Amino acid sequence: MRPDIATILKGTQIDTQITVMGWVRTFRNNQFIALNDGSTNHNLQVVVPLDSLDETQLKRITTSACIRATGQLIQSLGKGQTVELVADAIEILGDSDAEKYPLQPKKHSLEFLREIAHLRFRTNTFASVNRLRNALIFGIHQFFQERNFLNIHTPIISASDAEGAGEMFRVTTLDIEALPKDENDKIDFTQDFFGRSTNLTVSGQLEAELAAMAFTKVYTFGPTFRAENSNTARHLAEFWMIEPEVAFNDLKDNADLAEDMMKTVIRYAMEKHPDDIDFLDARLAEEEKQKPANERVEFSLKEKLNFVLDNQFERITYTEAIDILLQSPAYKKKKFKYDVSWGIDMQSEHERYLVEKHFKKPVIVTDYPKNIKAFYMRQNDHCEAGKETVAAMDILAPGIGEIIGGSQREERLDKLEQRMQEMHIPTKEMFWYLDTRRFGTCKHAGFGLGFERLVQFVTGMGNIRDVIPFPRTPKNCEF
């Protein structure tokens, strides 16, 4: 295997003949090429001996041209690099018109880079983000595999709405210019490919529950889709979800697993790519300097990540959280944009207050009001009058608020059917889900982690559209 530039820069191959391939970042004085192959943000300096290339070849060594260089790796005497390659031969593999190439050697805005997402991989910021994204993917699989979880592929095309929210992308092969109608003038989906209405999945959780009832410990890691018309820095229409499901676990076990997973995968990514963490830490610090003082974040990127690693997560109930918010100086001085009362779905500002101001550590909030949570969450037995709660949990992290959501699932058939009827979820169509409560039911629990939220947290990127290569958002399906 040909060594990549990240390996070459370690200096273990000094005084050997090597071949390297990559893309030109800069070319100075017709002699010094800064070459990058994406394995690191650091470039390898390739020295072109004077008069070794003719004028035509020199003119082809432009920003983003792709080249192959062969030569001797030596210890560098110049500033800025420890090793350099003195080239015996340079071959242009792919030309790049410097005048037309959109990425000039200068700072570009993230908004501009989203418009050329097919090229933004070549910037240091997006190279770091995607290397860390890759490390987090591997770290998550490693975490679950080391604990004997079974990875399950759940359907991408589904006929059920796992969340009961109705914000789904329809899947059809019908001619949308001439949709068939039934006698009630409604679309006749019996003529569709699957013979019924289908959609892209919003979650693999329900199918994961089925598997957990046979394998005990399972997890999914797959794409999910929400047709939520939210044009914000926190929402995507297409994103990836990690959803473990564990038989015999209760809510406390679930919280323990989520905290352990979060700490383990963040630590893995930080240890795997310290240079990328350093780069993004410096980038975030520079970005914060441009903001008004009252809008700046309290932590640097590395401080925020270590804040998670070094603290035992605080655990409180939703009722305790609301009481804290109601007694807070921020509430009393009317600094919250959204009101606080028992029964609300807490906003990010409320969640961040609990984490960053009150406890100064990550927080796990449990036992949420039944009316703001999904049908499958276990109803708590002991509730105050008018304050029915379910065994749900959210992990709140600094700078972002909720990052993981989960619950103990309702294993009691009668309670589950009653709740489904209350929420107008057809029990007949969901017979397969209810069967797990008929045939050997047991307590079980799981959670969902939106992967891009995790990548956003670890990289410090302010907009979720910058942590997935090709974001899918309202009115945007480019590339």
Give me the mean pLDDT over the 196-206 stretch: 94
Q: What pLDDT does residue 4 have?
A: 96
Q: Is pLDDT of 399 > 90?
A: no
Q: Give pLDDT, residue 234.
A: 84
pLDDT at 298 over 80: no
Nearest to 284 by CA among 462, 463, 465, 468: 462
How much is the mean pLDDT over the chain? 94
Integer CA distances (angstroms), 432 to 207, 208, 249, 408, 439, in order: 9, 12, 22, 19, 11
Say yes or no to pLDDT of 468 above 70.
yes
Which range has the worst mean pLDDT, 1-5, 336-340, 452-456?
1-5
Q: What proportion of the chain, given as a percentage, has pLDDT over 90?
A: 86
Average pLDDT over residues 52-59: 92
Q: What is d(CA 369, CA 388) in angstroms, rounded to the nearest whole number?
A: 6
Q: In what order do the strands lie in the sheet with 238-247?
A: 150-151, 217-225, 238-247, 444-450, 401-408, 389-397, 363-369, 314-317
pLDDT over 80 at 24, yes or no: yes
Mean pLDDT within 40-62: 94
Percent of the chain with pLDDT over 70: 99
Contact, 211 vs 142, CB < 8 A?
Answer: no
First to last CA, the chain: 31
> pLDDT tens digit string along 317-376?
999 999 999 999 999 999 999 999 999 999 999 999 999 999 999 999 999 999 999 999
Q: Is residue 386 very low, low, confident or very high in pLDDT (cuts 50, 70, 90)?
A: confident
| The predicted structure's pLDDT at residue 165 | 60
**What was the pLDDT predicted at 167?**
86
125 three-state secondary structure: helix
The whole-number pLDDT of residue 164 equals: 60
One-letter amino acid for residue 101 of the chain: Y
Question: According to the model, what pLDDT value does residue 162 have?
Answer: 65
Higher per-residue pLDDT: 98 or 296: 98
Domain ranges of the chain: 5-101, 122-167+202-466
What pLDDT is attached to residue 127?
A: 98
Nearest partner of 268 among 138, 175, 157, judged by Cα? 138
Look at residue 270 and tell me whether its pLDDT is greater than 70: yes
pLDDT digits (tens, 9 = 90+) for 232-259: 888 899 999 999 999 999 999 999 999 9
Query: Could you read off the pLDDT of 112-168 as tens digits, one per residue?
Result: 999 999 999 999 999 999 999 999 999 999 999 999 999 999 999 998 776 666 689
* Alpha-carbon distance values, 59 to 26, 28, 54, 180, 281 (Å): 13, 12, 9, 62, 37
Which DSSP string do the residues of 436-466 spell out, in sequence order? HHHSS---EEEEEEEHHHHHHHHHT-SSGGG
Whether the per-residue pLDDT at 294 is higher than 80: the answer is: no
- Does the pLDDT of residue 315 top 80, yes or no? yes
Summarize the confidence of residues 412-438 as an average pLDDT: 94
Please indicate, yes or no, whether the overall pTM of this predicted structure exceeds 0.75.
yes
- Average pLDDT (188-214) is 95
Q: For residue 231, what pLDDT is reported?
A: 84
Topology (CATH) of 122-167+202-466:
BirA Bifunctional Protein; domain 2 (3.30.930)
| CA dist., res. 408 & res. 387, Å (int) | 18
- Classify 258 as helix, strand or coil: helix
Strand order across the 157-158 sheet = 157-158, 198-200, 170-171
Average pLDDT over residues 92-96: 97
Fold of 5-101: OB fold (Dihydrolipoamide Acetyltransferase, E2P) (2.40.50)
